[in-house]
Every structure is written in C-alpha cells, then in structure tokens.
Structure 1
Amino acid sequence: MQAIEFEAQLKDGMIRLPTPYQHWRDNRSVKVILLATEDAPQTRPSDASQRLTAILEIGCRCAAAPELDPRSPDEIIGYDADGLPA
C-alpha cells in the first residue's frame, strides 16, 4: 500500500487529488483517513447526555496524550530558599 499526505480544501464534499496523483485510474481501491483542522466548525451537542459524552471523549483523548514534561508541578514552578515560587 502506498501512503501520500497532502492538504486540501473540501469543495462540494469533494477532495481533489494533487496533480502528481491524478493519473490514478478510476475504480482504484484506496483507503482514506481525514483529519480536520481545529478551526473547522463543529456541531454543538444538543442535550446534557451528549455534552457529557463529548466531555468524556475529550478527557480520554487528553489522558492518552504523551507526557511532555515528567517533572512534578513543584519542580516546574521551582522555589527559592524562602519557599516562595521562583
């Protein structure tokens, strides 16, 4: 399987392949994965249970994120000799 990556704008629900790949024939089998940018409009959940589900999904994504700084909060803040934040 060949993987390509490119950015595109949706137009009428369609994505145009970049020029180097437009030679691909019709009916070619492909696997498509779409990643929407953060500024894409998002629908707002309409009721409390949908909002709760959305919040829990965000929590799961955050919990799965890698730890970028293994230091404790106290180590990150740092304190001086008098115990005040440095």
Structure 2
Amino acid sequence: MEVTVYGPLRSATGDKQVRVAFEGRTVHEALEALVEAYPRAEQYLYRHDGTLASSVRISIAGERVDLDDPCPADAEVTVHPAVQGG
C-alpha cells in the first residue's frame, strides 16, 4: 500500500510517501503494518495504553475511515498524526 504521512510522523518514515507491504484487510491492520515497517511511527499514532490517539485521522483515497473499515492491499492511505499542544 502507498502511505502518505504528515507532520511529525514524517520523522518516523523518513519521507512523505512510503510503500508498506500489506496483504489487505482492515484499516487497523494497515496501521499495524505501518508501525511494523516504521516502529517510531507508533509514538505518533497511539496513546500509552495502546489505543489510537483520538486526533489521528486516516483516509483511503481521500475518504475518512475508521479502524474497522476494510483496507485493500493496494490502498492509498493518508495518515494525519496526533496533534499536541493547544
């Protein structure tokens, strides 16, 4: 899958767009594949209790999706990481 990342998440992936090996299933599994490929991404996506940070936004082909939604192997995924501060 092709993943576009924004903000501080780029420091974890090293680039704005990266390819991640993914067989396709759910958005949750797609994020797991991203973190497996780029372990430093986890800190920008998840809280300390392992749940997805509430401000993380994920879209497939421009449409916002939830963790349980399907995600094909050839998806174009966009991830906006959690925003800190106020």
TM-score, structure 2 normalization: 0.24
Greater relative contact order (Cα 8 A, min sep 6): structure 1 or 2? 2
More strand by share: 2
TM-score, structure 1 normalization: 0.24
Q: Which has the larger radius of gyration?
A: 1
